[in-house]
Amino acid sequence: MVTGSQVHLVRHAESVHNVTKDFSKLDPSLTSLGFEQAAELGKSFPYAGRVGVVITSPLRRAIQTALTAFSGILDKQYFDSSSGQGVENGASLIIEPLLQERSALACDTGSDRAELEKAFPRLTFDGLGDAWPSKDGIFAADDEAVQERARKVRRGLVEQGEKSNSGEKTDFVVVTHGVFMKFLAEEPEIDLPKAGWKSYTIQKVSPEEVNLVSVATEICPETNVRSNKVMSTYQFYRIHV
């Protein structure tokens, strides 16, 4: 069964460690270029009106990408009232620890909950759980644990869609990381650019097995109208800045 929702997987924008190659710094933020990339993503993303939920990794670079790129989609509760960002009755924002990056390096390890609450005071971090930011158990860096995390995320998308009551806003944006995305999409070759994105439909094979099926969006040159079709080939959008 293919659900009516689409999932738009987003890779976070450029982070400090992507430039310095210093992977020993805990939970690095976006660079100035990264914030520009995220802002450009928000301007060019064509499915804003269909998104009811934005789900992001709790790592700073992912949260910053989500808040910057989708400030025109997200509910205003997530922003300072004087910022002019966010919209009335906007999309929900969910912080999901299962979406964190694979490795146990410091750059891929999250900040303590207290630090995140200080940095993002209008967000809710209740979903982090008591184990955060441990890299043990299901959050370990081995293939088996990462595959199980990815399965849980895919099943969670179905569950979230079933309980969502967003009218026409049935799509999800998922902001995550380059390596974990390979497991989530079950596409070992996927390598989106920073702030790049790719769309999928959700295929529920059984209560335990959920797949993401790639969707390509084409623009007809004669009409400039987008049409969607399920594709097995690898296609994605690249953000140029």
Is 21 contained in some domain? Answer: yes
Q: How many domains does the chain have?
A: 1
Whole-structure pTM value: 0.89
Mean pLDDT, to the nearest integer, of 126-146? 96
DSSP string computed for the chain: -EEEEEEEEEE---BHHHHH--TTSSS--B-HHHHHHHHHHHHH-TTGGGEEEEEE-SSHHHHHHHHHHTTTTBBGGGS-TTS--SBTT-BEEEE-GGGS-S--SGGGSPPPHHHHHHHSTTS--GGG-TTTT--SGGGSSSHHHHHHHHHHHHHHHHHHHHH---TT--EEEEEE-HHHHHHHHT-TT--PPTT-EEEEEEEESSSS-EEEEEEEEEE-TTT--EEEEE-SS---B----
* CATH number of the domain encompassing residue 120: 3.40.50.1240
213-240 tens-digit pLDDT? 998 643 333 333 334 443 332 334 443 3
Is 62 contained in some domain? Answer: yes
Is 124 contained in some domain? Answer: yes
Mean pLDDT, to the nearest integer, of 44-50? 94
Containing domain of residue 81, as a range? 6-196
Is 90 contained in some domain? Answer: yes
Is 132 contained in some domain? Answer: yes
Poorest-pLDDT segment among 52-56, 126-130, 132-136, 229-233: 229-233
Is 229 contained in some domain? Answer: no
Is 212 contained in some domain? Answer: no
171-208 tens-digit pLDDT? 999 999 999 999 999 999 999 999 999 999 999 999 89
Is 231 contained in some domain? Answer: no
Mean per-residue pLDDT over the chain, rounded? 89
